[in-house]
Amino acid sequence: MVNKIIKKIEFLFFIIFIILTVGGIFAEIGFITNTPSWAPNLFMMIGSLLIFIYSKGKLKYLLIFVGLLGFFYEVLGVKTGILFGSYNYTDVFNLKILSVPIVMVSAWIIIVNFSLSFMHNIKRNYFVFLGSISMVIIDLVIDPIAVNGLEIWTWDQNGYYYGIPNHNFLGWFILSIPIFGVLNFVKEKIDIKSRIISNLVICFFSIIGFINKIYFPASLGIALILLNALLYFNEIKEKNKNAL
């Protein structure tokens, strides 16, 4: 009985997440006006909550650690400008602590979860390096769309890649190393439902990118989603082959 109730709650959260995803796209197109200020916050929070629910074992709690560590990075970044470059958050995500939206905890959980879904069969010797590289590639998708499409934050300096400071990407790589250093000890794999949630978030950003004519990051996002799906079906194929 309890399990059925939990499953129904999970399904309700998933439906709300889908509604918020579609609603966000329609709002960007202009089909929906006067979007409530809480909607973007709820979208990210429910996305990360679902990932937490679907994750297993140590991974569940390490993702919370990653989210809090990412938030700490953001506070240092906003206050000092050293880690990523000098930037400031707008009021798109309007619930803030120390000038940083609270949902940045959720954002880091979602991004790291998406990155981890590529890493299932990577040898431990290369896990930290390739995990950090994958975070930079994902940032190539998210940052231009978040800044030039959704206007979540603004940069005080300009760079060659859609106005993003060049050392932002170096910062992402360096700061991802301790994250994947910790996750290297996790044996649990990303659950398919958790994988779907993070893929849907990247898909959302890609669609927003196409709407705002930010074509390369949006196309890269779709390519990552397709590659992620290909890797998943290949994993299933190998698993079935080994089971014979």
Q: List, as one string, the DSSP characters of 129-163.
A: HHHHHHHHHHHHHHHHHHHHTS--EEESS--TBTT
Q: What domain range includes position 117?
A: 2-243
Kind and range of the H or E element at 100?
Answer: strand 100-101
Q: Over the stretch 146-180, which tens digit does the pLDDT of each residue have?
A: 999 999 999 998 889 999 998 899 999 999 999 99
CA 76 distance to own-chain centroid: 20
Work out the pLDDT band at 244, boundaries 50, 70, 90.
low
**Number of structural domains the chain divides into:** 1
What pTM value is reported for the model?
0.94
Question: With 90 as the cut, is the pLDDT of residue 102 above it?
Answer: yes
As a dihedral over the C-alpha atoms of residue 103, residue 108, residue 114, residue 119, rounded to 10 degrees, the angle is -160
Most confident of 9-18, 134-143, 151-160, 164-173: 134-143
Q: Over the stretch 20-38, which tens digit does the pLDDT of each residue have?
A: 999 999 999 988 777 888 8
Work out the pLDDT band at 127, boundaries 50, 70, 90.
very high
Mean pLDDT across the stretch 216-244?
89
